[in-house]
Structure 1
Amino acid sequence: MLLHIPNVLTPAQVAGFRASLDAAQWTDGRQTVGHLGAQAKRNEQLPEDSPLRRELGETILLALARHPLFFSAALPLKYLPPRFNRYTGGGTYGFHVDGAVMNLSHGEQLRSDVSCTLFLNPPDEYEGGELVISDTYGEHAVKLPAGDLVLYPSSSLHQVTPVTRGARLASFFWVQSMVRDDARRRLLFEMDTSIETLRQGNADAGAVLQLTGVYHNLLRQWAEV
Structure 2
Amino acid sequence: MNWSERLKREFLSGWKPFEVIWLTLFVLAQIWAYIQAPDSWLAMISGISGILCVVLVSKGKISNYLFGLIFAYTYFYVAWSANFLGEMNTVLYVYLPSQFIGYFMWKNHMQNDHGGASVVAKALSAKGWATLIIATAVGTLLFVQALRTAGGSSTGLDGLTTVITVAAQLLMILRYREQWLLWIALNVLSIALWAETPAMYLMYGAYLLNSLYGFYNWSKLAKQAGV
Identify, as 1 or 2, the structure richer in helix: 2
Look at both structures and tell me which one has the larger radius of gyration over its CA atoms. 1
Identify, as 1 or 2, the structure richer in strand: 1
TM-score class, shorter: under 0.3
TM-score (norm 2): 0.22
TM-score (norm 1): 0.22
